[in-house]
Amino acid sequence: MDKKRVKELSIIANKVRKNALTAVYSAASGHPGGSLSIADLLTLLYFEVMNVDPKNPKDENRDRFVLSKGHCAPALYGVLAEKGFFPVADIKGFRHIDSYLQGHPDMNKVPGVDMSTGSLGQGISVAGGMALAAKLDNKSYRVYSVLGDGELEEGQVWEQAMFAAHYKLDNLTAFVDNNGLQIDGDVSKVMNPNPIDEKFRAFGWHVIITDAHDFEKLLSAIEEAKATKGKPTVIIMKSVKGKNVSFMENNAGWHGSAPNKEQYEQAVSELDAKIAELEAMA
Partner 1 sequence: MAKRATRESYGAALVKYGANENIVVLDADLSKSTKTDMFKAAYPDRFINMGIAESNMMCVAAGLAASGKIAFASTFAMFAAGRAFEQVRNSIGYTHLNVKIGATHAGISVGEDGASHQCLEDVALMRSIPGMVVINPADDIEAQLAVKAAIEHEGPVYMRFGRLAVEDVNSEDYQFELGKGVMLADGKDASIIATGLMVGEALKARELLKADGLDVRVINIHTIKPIDADIIEKAAKETGAIVTAEEHYIMGGLGSAVAEVVCATHPVPVKIIGTDRFGKSGKPAQLFEEYGLTAANIADKVKEAISLKR
Ligand X SMILES: Cc1ncc(C[n+]2csc(CCOP(=O)(O)OP(=O)(O)O)c2C)c(N)n1
Strand order in the sheet with 143-148: 64-67, 143-148, 172-178, 233-238, 206-211
100 contacts partner 1 (rule: CB under 8 A): no
Closer to partner 1 by Cβ: residue 9 or 134? 134
Pick the closer one to Mg ion by CB: 145 or 179: 179
Sign of CA dihedral 26, 112, 176, 124: positive
151 touches which of partner 1, Mg ion, ligand X, none (CB within 5 to 8 A by kind)?
Answer: ligand X
Q: Which is nearer to partner 1, 156 or 250 (CB)?
A: 156
Does 167 interact with partner 1 (rule: CB under 8 A)?
yes
Secondary structure (3-state) at 167: coil
Q: Does 120 bind partner 1 (CB under 8 A)?
A: no
Q: Which residues bind ligand X (CB under 6 A)?
A: 33-34, 69, 71-72, 118-121, 148-151, 177, 179, 181-183, 241, 255
Nearest-10 Cα torsion for 276, 80, 138, 218: 30
| Burial state string for 186-201 with b = 16 or more CB within 10 A and e = fewer than 16 | ebeeeeebeebbebbe
Q: How many residues bind partner 1 (CB under 8 A)?
A: 33
- Given 148, 193, 242, 259, the residue binding Mg ion (CB under 5 A): 148
Between the two ends of the chain, the Cα-to-Cα distance in Å is 16
The interface region with Mg ion, picked from 60-68, 114-122, 171-179, 192-200 by CB under 5 A, is: 171-179
Chain CA centroid to CA 202, Å: 24
Min dist CB 240 to Mg ion, Å, is 11
The residue (of 41 and 50) whose beta carbon lies closer to Mg ion is 41
DSSP annotation of 233 reads E
The residue from 162, 183, 191, 227 that contacts partner 1 (CB under 8 A) is 162
Of 64 and 104, the one with the shorter C-beta distance to ligand X is: 104
Question: Contact at 8 Å (CB) between 168 and 230?
Answer: yes
- Enumerate residues 6+ apart whose C-beta is below 8 A from 29: 95, 103, 256, 258
Sites of contact with partner 1 (CB under 8 A): 60, 64, 66, 107-108, 114-116, 118-119, 121-123, 125-134, 136-137, 155-156, 159-160, 162-163, 166-167
